[in-house]
Amino acid sequence: MATLGFHDPGWHGELRTPVVDGKYIHPKSGELRDIKDDDSPGYYCGPPAVDIVIQNVAAKGTFRKAQAFPMEGLLSVIMGVVREKNLSLDSIMATSYTIRVILSHEMTDEQYKEVAMRMIYGISDEKE
C-alpha cells in the first residue's frame, strides 16, 4: 500500500542523531559517516515513524514496533482488530508518533501474539 508510506529517517542508537540515506553526521567531529561502518549502533526508526506498544494485562509480554505509516491509518487498523475480535480494551493513547494499546482480554499467548501482529502489521494488508 504505497500511498500510505512516507520517508522514514532513522536514528543512531548510541549517538541519538538522525540517519538519512544510511549516513549521519557525527556530533563531535562533524564528519559524515556511513551507518554500515559502525559496530551495531542500535539503529532504530524515529519520527515520523509511529512507535506502537501493545500490552495485555491478562497475558505475558509486550509487543513493540515502529511503523512508517500515518498514525491515523495505524489507529484505524488497530481499532478494527479490537472490534473484529471483540477485545476488552483497558486503554488506548495515541499521539502523532506514538500509539499505546492496553488490552484486558483473556486469551492464550498464541492468540495474543496473533492479535498484536495483526495490529502492528495489518496496515500492510489494507486495500486502497
Could you read off the pLDDT of 26-37 as tens digits, one per residue?
888 999 988 877
Mean pLDDT computed over 113-127: 87
As beta bridge partners, residue 15 has none
pLDDT of residue 113: 95
Three-class secondary structure of residue 3 per DSSP:
helix
Name which residue leads in pLDDT, 125 or 98: 98
d(CA 99, CA 50): 7
Measure the CA–CA gap between 21 and 110, rounded to whole angstroms. 37
Summarize pLDDT for 37-49 with one digit per residue, the tens.
Answer: 766 566 666 666 7
pLDDT digits (tens, 9 = 90+) for 69-113: 888 999 999 999 999 999 999 999 999 889 999 999 999 999 999
Return d(Cα 126, Cα 83) in angstroms, integer: 16
- Confidence class for position 68, pLDDT limits 50, 70, 90: confident
Boundaries of every domain in the chain: 2-45, 50-125
Q: What is the mean pLDDT of the chain?
A: 84
How would you classify the pairing of strands 23-25 and 32-34? antiparallel
Beta bridge partners of 44: 11
